Amino acid sequence: MDRLQTMAVFVGVAEEGGFSPAARRLNLSPPSVTRAVSELETRLGARLLHRTTRSVRLTEAGQRYLADCRRILAEVEEADSHAAGLHAEPRGLVAVSASVLFGRMVVTPILLDLLERHPAISVSATFVDRVVHMMDEGIDVAVRIAELPDSTLSAIRVGTVRRVLCAAPAYLARHGRPRRPADLANHRTIAFTTMTPGADWTFDTDGRIHRFTPGARFHVNNADAVIAAAAAGHGIARVLSYMIAAHLRDGTLELVLEDAEPPAVPVHVLHKEPGETSARIRAVVDFLVERLRADPALPA
């Protein structure tokens, strides 16, 4: 095999998690796939995969090499498309990242519609609750909910989300509705540790920032669990507004202390291609921007 074919085999093994499934995907024999990866490791002088009888895992070197291989193969495919005069037709694999719940609730439906519109595009979606290093991890496009530091990435703002407090109507009927942040000291609270790694909740009253340290007895890193606990009447929780849009509509949750919310958090679509953007990346970015800006849960 030539070098590009060997890279494609390695990417197939890494993405499929094994030699046999990669062989089926690539229409090759399992021994030829195994041999190609072994020859690649010998040529590089580095182990790319940890092999056991049950699994195949990337080494640290393998993770870095996988990102480079994906980028190189995508650039080769793009070059072929340009030479064939196909730049107007987006085609190829695009790796997309978002946070777990936002990815499930908001991004996934958009990507599925994208695949219907662009049949020559494939998408590899990674949803994780951490900041993804796009260059190192081979991510082409990311949807990020955060203030962005200066970087070389291209960023398009598509809306905002609010950091809101919510509780079940039954809880508020039993314990009363807090009128100011200090009233929270008399309430049960639920701590969403992924959203607020520090202990404090911040509030903005008349332009002044106030901090409150909730004495929560339930600490959890999963948004679904936080929302379920709040909807079941176990206390007041702080979440992002898009997470509970449906609960607010059906009345299972109500907002609390809206007048004291801190500033909204921007939502951006990011991509890593400087200068002229390839057709496949531009198609995904444009589609995400259009749909996210039209989402009423993400006001400008």
Cβ pair 71, 137 in contact under 8 A:
no
Residue 167 has pLDDT above 80, yes or no: yes
Which residues are registered as beta bridge partners of 97? 126, 142
Report the pLDDT value the prediction gives residue 153, as an integer from 0 to 100: 77
Q: What percent of the chain has pLDDT over 90?
A: 65
Phi, psi of 102 (to 5 degrees): -65, -40
Cα distances (Å, whole numbers) of residue 213 to 81, 231, 245: 56, 22, 26
- Alpha-carbon distance 121 to 94, whole Å? 7
Which of 267, 259, 211 is closest to 242 using CA atoms? 267
Mean pLDDT of 207-231: 91
**Type of residue at 136:** D
Residue 253 has pLDDT above 90, yes or no: yes
Residue 146: both structure tokens together: 């955060």
Mean pLDDT of 15-23: 90
- The per-residue b/e assignment along 66-102, b for 16 or more CB within 10 angstroms, e otherwise, is bbebbeebbeeebeebeeeeeeeebbbbbbbbbbbbb
Helix axes 30-44, 3-16, angle to 10 degrees: 110
Query: What does pLDDT average to over the chain?
Result: 90
CB atoms within 10 A of CB 33: 25
Strand 141-145 vs strand 92-98: parallel, antiparallel, or unpaired? parallel
Report the pLDDT value the prediction gives residue 150, as an integer from 0 to 100: 63
Cβ pair 26, 12 in contact under 8 A:
yes
- Alpha-carbon distance 62 to 17, whole Å? 13
DSSP string, 209-250: EEEE----SEEES-HHHHHHHHHTTS-EEEEEGGGGHHHHHH
Tell me the torsion sign for CA atoms 80, 142, 267, 230.
Answer: positive
For residue 79, name the pLDDT band (cuts at 50, 70, 90): confident
For residue 42, name the pLDDT band (cuts at 50, 70, 90): very high
For residue 142, name the pLDDT band (cuts at 50, 70, 90): very high
Report the pLDDT value the prediction gives residue 274, as an integer from 0 to 100: 59
Phi, psi of 69 (to 5 degrees): -60, -45
For residue 131, name the pLDDT band (cuts at 50, 70, 90): confident
Q: What percent of the chain has pLDDT over 70?
A: 94
Residue 275 has pLDDT above 60, yes or no: no
Helix spans in the chain (H): 3-16, 19-26, 30-44, 60-83, 100-102, 108-117, 134-137, 169-175, 223-231, 245-250, 279-293
Report the pLDDT value the prediction gives residue 87, as an integer from 0 to 100: 52
Report the pLDDT value the prediction gives residue 200, as an integer from 0 to 100: 87
Residue 141 has pLDDT above 60, yes or no: yes
Residue 126 has pLDDT above 60, yes or no: yes
Cβ pair 265, 240 in contact under 8 A:
yes
For each of the domains in the chain, give its residue range(s) and CATH number, in order of start: 1-70 (1.10.10.10), 88-153+272-300 (3.40.190.10), 163-260 (3.40.190.290)
Report the pLDDT value the prediction gives residue 84, as an integer from 0 to 100: 64
For residue 279, name the pLDDT band (cuts at 50, 70, 90): confident
The continuous run of DSSP H or E covering 156 comes out as strand 154-161
